[in-house]
Amino acid sequence: MFFFFSKLFTILIRPLFWIVVLGAWSLFTKNTKRKKRLTILVICLAFFCSNKVIVNEFSLLYESKVEILDRNHPRTAVVLGGFAEYDGGRKRVQMAMAAERMFEAYRLYKNHTLDTLIISGGAASLTSNQKPESQYIRKYLIDLGMDSTVILIDTGSKNTFENAVQTKKILVRQNHKAPVLLITSAMHMPRAKRVFSKVGILAQPYPVNFLSDLGRGYVIGDYLMPSSEALYHFDALIKEWVGLIVYKLTGKA
């Protein structure tokens, strides 16, 4: 039930959803004053949520910072899912933007920085009978040359809290008491590390897939023109802000 309402709530908090709803209201309302106010509100909301400079500055404040691994870093990494899906029609794995989570973990393994990977991610879908994400990602990594014995998977989790709970079970079964390296997107890391700490997992954050531009390479157009990329980033930012608040209120973080 929590998963269902979290998916529904994610739709309701999206900036584009409210831009469309308020825009439609402004078109159909017959009240002249209300029409004017709604139009101004839609314009301001659209500008704010799609402005590259504004969104980038907020992202820089929220995203976790780059972590440099030292010689005492954990040798077991937990890679959080949500970066791929299986295309049944084409019989292949399709990667999303957050796939850097997996590829960076694979790079660290190939460089002998990691010994074991735990892929945490089930089938996070309300409408289809998808295979658990971690299953086909495990096969994908084996096809890339990884030893199957070093890849452990959680197939049941559908959200960040369940990622942590199921990972804890895997660690207990493995009698693993040392810290783990937590690999997820920089935007997602603030919430993820709090949740993992809440369930009793010692995790060293290793953020990847940064959405913000640390160099702030702004041009004049970035201050004035709307950006679909910025709107996408603001969407992710709102989701994480609200998600962290909800998790804190429900005792999950």
CATH number, domain containing residue 193: 3.40.50.620
**Residue 63: what residue type?**
E
71 in a domain, yes or no? Answer: no
Q: Kindly state whether residues 94 and 194 are assigned to the same domain.
A: yes
- Number of domains the chain contains: 2
Q: Kindly state whether residues 201 and 230 are assigned to the same domain.
A: no
> In sequence order, what E strands does the chain have?
76-80, 84-87, 92-95, 116-120, 151-154, 180-185, 203-208
What is the pTM for the complete model shown? 0.89
133 in a domain, yes or no? Answer: yes
pLDDT digits (tens, 9 = 90+) for 122-149: 876 555 567 889 999 999 999 999 999 9
pLDDT along the chain (253 residues), means of 10: 58 83 91 93 94 97 92 95 88 90 96 96 65 92 95 93 96 95 97 96 96 94 94 93 91 91
Q: What is the SS3 assignment for 205?
A: strand
Q: Kindly state whether residues 239 and 204 are assigned to the same domain.
A: no
Q: Kindly state whether residues 100 and 149 are assigned to the same domain.
A: yes
The domain in which residue 30 lies consists of: 2-63+223-249
